[in-house]
Amino acid sequence: MTPNQTLNGRYRIIDALGEGGMADVYLAHDLILKRNVAVKLLRFDLQNDDQTIKRFQREALSTTELVHPNIVSVYDVGEDNGIHYLVMEYVDGTDLKRYIKANFPIPYQKVINIMEQILSGVATAHDHDIIHRDLKPQNILMDKKGNAKISDFGVALAQEEQTLTQTNAVVGSVHYLSPEQARGHLATKRSDIYSLGIILYEMLTGRVPFEGENAVSIAIKHYQNQIPYVRDFDPRIPQALENVVLRATAKNPFDRYKSVTEMADDLSTALSVKRADEKRFVAPSLTDETIIADASSFETDAKDVAEVKATVAPQATKQVSQITKKRRNRHPLRKRIAIVMGIFLVLISGIAIAFYLSFPKVVTIPNVTGMTQAQATKVLKQHDLKVGHITRTGDQKIDYRRVIETLPSKNKQVQAGVSVNVVMSQGPNSYVVDNYIGDSYAKVAKKLRAKGFKVEKSIVQTAQFDQGKIIYQSVVPDQVVVPRVTTIRFSVSN
């Protein structure tokens, strides 16, 4: 769209405001109500994708029922000559990401005031069983009066709908992604609370808690690493305020606040002098007691050992003396019996050795990591081994339907003919989708199928792209998804 163009005869475009994963946003003027509005237009390359259109429309449906001063209002939704659009309240200001950068350090009371506005808006969404799933500073707008307004419910789902689908099960920005979403689990209200805790962390420190070489490495840190302490960054931050961050970002969802309202109540008293001596929050699931047996209960007292030796020693000496005496007086017949017994023992030993040599041969488990099931089966048979149970699990490094390991493991020596259990990869539990527009479909499809994605394509006649190049993808770039439950559809130029 260009300035002065009119959408549906009502919304005159003034200027571009920004670009998103699936839509472009413009400042426009409502010619009927005489007010400025923000118009979100679905990107041209996504106009014919039914799933994206449904997601775009879902944003409008999700937000229209949310009437709250800290949530961006949706005024209208429609279509004009194949262009799908969404008309929203225009917030004259900036987003929270830029606000933090421009105003850091932010006074603690101001941080709490802003967070209380955000929490109030999210509480309303949760009251309607709507989970945002992508809360981040970029989706929180700040007007010139310092009021916060939550936007972009494009990935939000009503709780009832969320239980019915697992397609693109992990959606959200990786820096604010909850551990359960990073693992590929469905988001809950407590997942939003985790993201809110990360936002509070960033407002207090001016940075996100985890950085990495790529999005996957950051997601892994979210479900493996302890969130850094904000008081290590700034010791002046009250412990009670740090505790709000720690509880909201607990790895176990059940250790977090039960609701956004509970988090808001805790935050409201974080600067109170009554909480000045508060101890650092430790997640309850990390403080479960483990009973450890005292090692001394398995040891014999040194005094008891000495007493036993003192009691046994005279008896043992006496017995040895008697045996020696008997040996000296042994009858010659007994010597012959001893010789016969010796010969008998030699024969038994020979039979035992022969029996042992008749055992099956010993072989070494080959390394079949990275092979397909068929390839691994062939190699194991070549080593006189059988294939046992086949199990499957997710793996970040090993490609889809490739061998992760064997049980017994490689290089172990076993008897020929035994069964070897094989663990197959289901691909990564989480994967960040790149922007493949303009890339070769053949190369991209091969790469994604190796990760476990189902890949589909449709041919589009166009002169704008070379033959075989991708001109559209159904999954928005930078989204974190679970490959084995995700289908990516590509439009390919011909």
Sequential DSSP letters for 319-377:
HHHHHHHHHHT--HHHHHHHHHHHHHHHHHHHHHHHHHHTSPPEEE----TT--HHHHH
For residue 392, the tally of other CB atoms under 10 A from its CB is 15
Record the tokens describing residue 96, joined without a space. Answer: 């929270």
Q: Which residues in 232-247 are b (16+ Cβ under 10 Å) and which e? A: eeeeebbbbbbbbbbb
Helix (H) or strand (E) holding 115, with range, is helix 108-127
Q: CA-CA distances (angstroms) from residue 235 to 128, 227, 230, 246, 398?
A: 39, 16, 8, 15, 43
- Which residues are CB-contacts of 56 (< 8 A; sequence separation ≥ 6)? 22, 23, 42, 84, 86, 154
Record the tokens describing residue 98, joined without a space. Answer: 């830029």
Please say whether the beta carbons of 140 and 100 come within 8 A.
Answer: no
- Euclidean distance between CA atoms 440 and 466, whole angstroms: 9
Q: How many residues does the chain have?
A: 494
Active site residues: 134
- Euclidean distance between CA atoms 381 and 371, whole angstroms: 14
Q: Which residues pair with 470 in a beta bridge?
A: 492
Exposed, middle or buried, 388 (CB in 10 Å: 0-12/13-18/19+)? middle
- Euclidean distance between CA atoms 43 and 53, whole angstroms: 10
- Euclidean distance between CA atoms 25 and 138, whole angstroms: 14
Q: Which residues pair with 457 in a beta bridge?
A: 490
- The letter for the amino acid at 370 is G
Exposed, middle or buried, 27 (CB in 10 Å: 0-12/13-18/19+)? middle
Upper half-sphere CA count for residue 452 (Cβ side, 13 Å): 26
- Euclidean distance between CA atoms 391 and 403, whole angstroms: 10
Residue 247 φ/ψ, nearest 5 degrees: -70, -40
Upper half-sphere CA count for residue 151 (Cβ side, 13 Å): 26
